[in-house]
A = this chain, B = another copy of it.
Amino acid sequence: MARTRIGLFGAGRIGKVHAANIAAHPQLDFVVVCDPVRAGAEAISEQYGTAVETDPARAFEHGLDAVVIASSTSTHLDLLTAAAAHDVAALCEKPIDLDLGRVRASRERFAGRDSPIMIGFNRRFDPSFEQLRTRVARGDIGTLEQLVIISRDPAPPPEAYIAVSGGIFRDQTIHDFDTARSFVPEISSVHAAGANVFSPEIERQGDHDSAVLTLTGAGGELVTIINSRHSAFGHDQRIEAFGSQGMLQAGNLSDTAVRHFTSSGTETADPYVTFFLERYAEAYRRELDAFVQAVGAGIRPTPGFDDGLQALELADAAVESARTGATIHLPAEDFDVRS
C-alpha cells in the first residue's frame, strides 16, 4: 500500500509532538517540515530526515498528500486555504482562528472542496474519554441527561500568552465546548460565569482565571463545564455523564498505580500528570492515526471544520454571557449549517 506523504507546519512545542508521532506512524512518509524559524525546522529534520522549508508555498511543492498544521493560530486559515488549493488533507490545531467572523467567512471557501480538514481537538481521542463517549452512545447509561466536564490546567500559561490567547473561553474552554458537542452536538443555550480568584495578572488583562458554564442541549441535556487556570494537584480533566440508567466517569491519570497509607491518611495516590503533552500523549497519537485512516479511506475526518466553527460560536456566546449575565440562546439556523 502506498504510504501517505505528509508535511508538518510548525516546529514548536506541539509541532515536535506531531513530528514524533508522524515519524513513528507506519503508514506515513514524513517528507518536509516548514517553519519560518529555520533552526526549529532543522532540529526536526535532523532527527527524522525530512526536507526543510521556511516558506509554506515551497513546502507544498514536495508532492504532499496531507499536512499537519501546528503553527501559530494566526496562520491556520491561510494554511488551510493553501492546503485546499493543493487538494491536500489537513489536520489543523485548534482554534481555526480567534476571529469568529473570519472563520464563518472562510467556511464557503472550503465547502466546495474535497480535501478533508480535521481540527485538532485531541481530547476526543483520549482513550478514557473516547470509551466513555462510545459507551454513552451504545446506551450504557440509558438516555444522557447531564454532562459535567471538569477541566483545570495545572498552571496558567505565561502572561504573554494570555494576552494573545483570545481569553479563557476561546483558549481553554474551547476544548470543553468540543467535548460537550461530542456528546450533545446541538447546543441551544450558553450561560457563563467568569471569576478572578487567584491571578492578578490575568485580571489585569481583562480575562478570567476561573469559569463555570451551563449549556443546554436541544434534547434538554444540561451540560456543566468547570474551568480553572490552575490546579495544585495536577491536570484535573474529568468527564461525568449521567443518564437515566446510570453514570459513567472518566477520571484523572497518575504516572503510577502506587498508594500510600500512613497515620495521617490512606490510599494516597500520586499527584496527577501535570504536563498536558504527557496527559494527552496517547490522544495525540490516536488523533493522528484517525486522520491517517480517514484520509486513506476517503472519508471526512471528525472533528471537522464545522466542529471547529461551532466551538468558536460557543466561545463567543460565553464571552457575551459572562459580560452580561444573560443566557445566550443560539439560533436554530446555526444547526443547519453544521451538517
Residues of A within 8 A of B (CB): 24, 127-128, 131-132, 135, 140-143, 145-146, 148, 150, 152, 189, 191, 193, 195-198, 210-212, 214, 216, 219-222, 224, 226, 228, 230-234, 236, 242-272, 325-327, 329
Contacts and interface: CB of A to CB of B under 8 A. Distances in A.
Contacts of A198: 143, 145, 244
18 contacts: A131-B255, A145-B197, A145-B210, A191-B191, A191-B214, A195-B221, A198-B244, A211-B222, A224-B226, A232-B245, A232-B247, A232-B263, A246-B262, A247-B261, A250-B259, A262-B271, A265-B270, A325-B327
A196 B325 CA distance: 23
A266 B266 contact: no
A307 B100 CA distance: 45
B211 A327 contact: no
Contacts of A272: 266
A268 B271 contact: no
B195 A216 contact: yes
A127 B270 contact: no
Contact of A195 (B222, B233, B255, B269): B222
B252 A257 contact: yes
A309 B176 CA distance: 37
